[in-house]
Amino acid sequence: DTGVSQDPRHKITKRGQNVTFRCDPISEHNRLYWYRQTLGQGPEFLTYFQNEAQLEKSRLLSDRFSAERPKGSFSTLEIQRTEQGDSAMYLCASSLPGTGLSEAFFGQGTRLTVV
Amino acid sequence: GQNIDQPTEMTATEGAIVQINCTYQTSGFNGLFWYQQHAGEAPTFLSYNVLDGLEEKGRFSSFLSRSKGYSYLLLKELQMKDSASYLCAVRNFNKFYFGSGTKLNVKP
């Protein structure tokens, strides 16, 4: 396993278009997270899955954002009707269950630019 | 809410020691993590504290005081490749909350 992978690495889209990103976590990790990061800021929590169940979604996340993890493996994050404010790096991370040392491993991210 | 504070930027000299502080106020606590992030890259895990005290890992050490809501990351024998952002993160049950990161500039 080579770690968490995300696709695409870069996406440029016109305002109003829909975009979808994919994340493949480390295979034995049942927890999967989506974060958004803008320049000079730390990652901001968006949503979290345990297996296929989406357990929490940030209150900051508008209804234009939706995430799925249909078989408890890969996940997709869709943004509908993109806005310029959606431009950011979207990071996916996965971790093992438990509250001990189960750090989050991050993918390389998808950089979204909305023009 | 969750509040995690770090200095925005620090500068240090190659070969020196630098300490990056982090203070936090969170509704729950299941561990404090430090990540390194080079520009344009993903964060990578550096260290983890769940109990009070110092954890040493090569050139990197991390300290935690839960009663004070305080942690620091200590980097020794600084190298130019240590120039990066350092993120402090608190895990609250199943979620990780990050500070804004401290950009460390290492100068020759």
Residues of chain A neighbouring B48 (CB-CB closer than 8 A): 101, 103
The nearest alpha carbon in chain A to B8 belongs to A40
pLDDT tops 90 at residue B2:
no
Per-window interface: A 36-95 vs B, CB < 8 A: 40-45, 48, 50, 55-56, 91, 93
Residue A92: which of A50, A45, A58 has the closest Cα?
Answer: A45
Phi/psi at B38 (nearest 5 deg)? -80, 155
Task: Give yes or no for a contact between B102 and B85, defined as CB atoms under 8 angstroms apart.
Answer: yes
Distance from CA of A40 to the nearest CA of B (A): 7
In angstroms, the CA A23 to CA A107 distance is: 8
Nearest by CB to B43, which of A31, A50, A106? A106
* A83, amino acid identity: E
Other beta carbons less than 10 A from residue B105's beta carbon: 13
Reported as a pLDDT band with limits 50, 70 and 90, residue B93 is confident
pLDDT tops 70 at residue A1:
no
Task: Give yes or no for a contact between B86 and B100, defined as CB atoms under 8 angstroms apart.
Answer: no
In angstroms, the CA B25 to CA B22 distance is: 10
Phi-psi group of A108: left, alpha or beta (phi > 0 → left; psi -120 to 50 → alpha; rest → beta):
alpha
Residue A102: which of A24, A2, A30 has the closest Cα?
Answer: A30
Nearest by CB to A42, which of B30, B44, B87? B87
Residues of chain A neighbouring B50 (CB-CB closer than 8 A): 100-101
In angstroms, the CA A97 to CA B22 distance is: 26
A107 token code pair: 């993918």
pLDDT digits (tens, 9 = 90+) for B33-84: 999 999 988 899 999 999 999 999 899 999 999 999 999 999 999 999 999 9
Nearest by CB to B42, which of A31, A45, A91? A91
